[in-house]
Amino acid sequence: MESLSMGGYGPYVWTCFMLTAVVFIICEWRARLRQRRVYRDIEVRIKALGDTQ
Amino acid sequence: MTDDTPGMLTGMFGVVRRDLLLAWKRPGDILNPLFFFAMVATLFPLAVGPSPEQLEFSGPAVLWVAALLAMLLSLNSLFLSDYEDGSLDQMLVSPVPLPVLALGKSITHWLTSGLPLVLVAPVVAITFRMPFSVTGYLMITLLLGTISLSLLGSIGAALTVGLHRGTALLSLLILPLAMPVLIFGARTVSLVASGDGVAGGLYFLGAYAVLVLSFAPFATAAALRISNE
Amino acid sequence: MWKFIHKLASPPHFYGLAARMVPWFVLPGLFLVAYGTYAGLFLAPMDYQQGDAFRIIYVHVPSAYLSMMTYMIMAISAGIGLIWRIKLAHAVAAAAAPIGAWFTFLALATGSIWGKPMWGTWWEWGDPRLTSELILLFLYFGYMALRGAIDDTVKADKSSAVLALVGAVNVPIIHFSVEWWSSLHQGPTLIKKGGPAMDTAMLYPLLAMILGFTLLFGALLLRRVRAEVLFRERRTRWVKDLILSGRSA
């Protein structure tokens, strides 16, 4: 497939695009992870201390 | 406003005079960075080899890097002793505006670190077989550059005073900001050696020093307040 | 108008609003990136000098652009937080930093990979953009290191704000210095400035990628700021109510 090999530069070009996708996914994942962890920590603390805290 | 309140210049010179006296009593504060400068400059020939062409070629760069590192070294303790003995708190509540006092500290730092470097550099430059004409430009670029470095460095020192492992942090903060100075300082001197025009580089260094002078005392003052509230 | 901004600066209001805004950023962003990728990889004509390798431009330039823009956003929101004492602004600055660092890394990595077939080396100091990006990465690290070194959130916010502002002033100067420095030796660069104007077929995908990246960055930022706000406000009433009502994360 001509297009996939990118005139011989295939590995370079595709690596770059893959890397970009990976970075975006990592960022998104970490953001969600942080959100979830913060939420859970607060939830645990509130449930443990009751509504009086 | 009675006449007891010190004016701004008096306040600033008060800081300068006090710190100069302190430095006089502890000559190590001035000498140690200079020794450090000489030693770092020596590291390069040791690591690279004694070939004269290489030395002459790398002289401006090595000397500039060594000067930059020596300045960083002395910046660490800029506010440290004031922090520890309570003078910093005094400065914070002084009627003299804090930026003025901060400027005073920067001036002292330059007088005790920058200026000595400018004076000592030619001596070390000899070991790099630097022609005298080039050495002159080295001194000028160092003169202008160290002014900027003292001012910028004060901001970093104020931000990191009292922080755990503030030393490494200070370097990490200041080095990227110091790169324009390093680039123009070192490369301008190299250009002299190769006979190209250097006016542009010198103008940049001068203009940059003026720019930094216009905001650094305020940033330093803000940083001092933040670090100590 | 002021009321709108005032409401926006209120953490609980922002928290809810941001969640609703994310899809508006993600969907157009993904669409633009998809179009830009496809068009850039398959539709745009080949560059006569660099062959197909030039297609890396479609991820390298947007990353570099975003890395700079993020720093400016970081500095501006930090400044707003410092001057007008708006907590949310500080949260935005804190949330933006890691994203900016990632984009900077991406710009460096794609630039390096692009350089290998072009110059035969993984790193070319003569390329001003690469060197500038490297220094920018150091600026990000410094900012994050300073934040990390200060325990008290308020102090960390203010200190890092001063640093970000000083850095922002220096960024154009750093660029200028590196340009001058690299011009001393006519070194090889990835993208020739003042070269032949880009063919529209080449340009449109690039613009789409830049815009798409920006929108996706917006979505990422909104998510991170939400998490940041939640963390900072964890002891407040509104957060407690939110958690107790069991509303979604």
What does the domain layout of chain B look like in residue ranges? 8-228
How high is the pLDDT of residue C8?
75
Phi-psi region of C136 (alpha: psi -120 to 50; beta: other; left: phi over 0): alpha
Q: Could you give the C-alpha distances from C205 to A1, C35, C118, C184, C197, in angstroms and in order?
A: 22, 7, 22, 33, 15
Return mean pLDDT, chain A.
85
Residues in C closer than 8 angstroms to B173, CB to CB, are 142, 145-146, 163
Percent of chain B having pLDDT more than 70? 97
> Look-up: residue for tokens 């707003």?
C80
* Whether B38 contacts B124, CB under 8 Å: yes
- Whether the pLDDT of residue B194 is over 90: the answer is no
Q: Which residues pair with C51 in a beta bridge?
A: C47
What's B137-166 look like in SS3?
Answer: HHHHHHHHHHHHHHHHHHHHHHHHCCCCCH
Return mean pLDDT, chain B.
91
| Structure tokens, B26 | 């502890």
How high is the pLDDT of residue B62?
96
Return mean pLDDT, chain C.
90
Find the range with the poorest average confidence among B33-47, C142-156, C197-211.
C197-211
- Whether the pLDDT of residue C203 is over 90: the answer is no
How high is the pLDDT of residue A1?
43
B5: pLDDT confidence band, cut at 50, 70 and 90?
low
d(CA C125, CA B91): 45
How high is the pLDDT of residue C28?
96
What's the pTM?
0.91
What does the domain layout of chain A look like in residue ranges? 9-52
d(CA C174, CA C186): 19
Q: Do chains B and A touch, with touching meaning 3 or more CB–CB pairs less than 8 Å apart?
A: no
How high is the pLDDT of residue B7?
80
Mean pLDDT on C185-200:
63
C103: pLDDT confidence band, cut at 50, 70 and 90?
very high
How high is the pLDDT of residue C187?
65
Interface pTM (ipTM) of the complex? 0.90
- Whether the pLDDT of residue C62 is over 50: the answer is yes
B101: pLDDT confidence band, cut at 50, 70 and 90?
very high
How high is the pLDDT of residue B196?
75
C104: pLDDT confidence band, cut at 50, 70 and 90?
very high
Q: For chain B, positions 179-218, list CB contacts with chain C under 8 A.
A: 179-180, 183-184, 187, 191, 200, 204, 208, 211, 215
* Whether B187 contacts B181, CB under 8 Å: no
d(CA C114, CA B34): 43
- Whether the pLDDT of residue B162 is over 90: the answer is no
Higher pLDDT, C184 or C180: C180
B104: pLDDT confidence band, cut at 50, 70 and 90?
very high
Query: Considering only CA atoms, which of C192, C211, C216, C210 is closest in space to residue C58?
Result: C210
Query: How buried is residue C184: exposed, middle or buried, by Cβ count under 10 Å (0-12/13-18/19+)?
Result: middle
CA distance C169 to chain A (A): 27
* Whether B220 contacts C152, CB under 8 Å: no
C119: pLDDT confidence band, cut at 50, 70 and 90?
confident
How high is the pLDDT of residue B139?
96
d(CA C70, CA C96): 7
Residues in B closer than 8 angstroms to C155, CB to CB, are 226-227, 229
How high is the pLDDT of residue A49?
80
How high is the pLDDT of residue C195?
45
d(CA C151, CA C46): 52
DSSP string, C198-232: PPHHHHHHHHHHHHHHHHHHHHHHHHHHHHHHHHH
**Residue B130 backbone phi and psi in degrees, to 5:** -80, 125
Mean pLDDT on C131-145:
96
Q: Which residues pair with C47 in a beta bridge?
A: C51
| Structure tokens, C246 | 């069991």
Long-range CB contact pairs, C201-206, < 8 A, 24+: C201/C39, C201/C43, C201/C44, C201/C45, C202/C44, C202/C45, C202/C47, C204/C39, C205/C35, C205/C36, C205/C37, C205/C39, C205/C40, C205/C43, C205/C44, C205/C58, C206/C36, C206/C40, C206/C57, C206/C58, C206/C61, C206/C62
- Cα B169 from chain centroid (whole Å): 17
What does the domain layout of chain C look like in residue ranges? 32-234
Q: C217, C229, C234, C242: best mutation site toward chain A, by most A Cβ within 10 Å?
A: C234
Mean pLDDT on C80-104:
96
Find the range with the poorest average confidence among B19-23, B39-43, B162-166, C162-166.
B162-166
- Whether the pLDDT of residue B167 is over 90: the answer is no
Q: Is some CB atom of chain C closer than 8 A to the CB atom of A21?
A: no
C194: pLDDT confidence band, cut at 50, 70 and 90?
very low
How high is the pLDDT of residue C20?
94
Q: Do chains C and B touch, with touching meaning 3 or more CB–CB pairs less than 8 Å apart?
A: yes
| Structure tokens, C247 | 């509303």
Q: Could you give the C-alpha distances from B227 to B86, B147, B217, C174, in angstroms and in order?
A: 14, 24, 15, 27
How high is the pLDDT of residue C96?
97
How high is the pLDDT of residue C248?
56
C127: pLDDT confidence band, cut at 50, 70 and 90?
confident
Residue pLDDT, tens place only, B107-128: 999 999 999 999 999 999 999 9
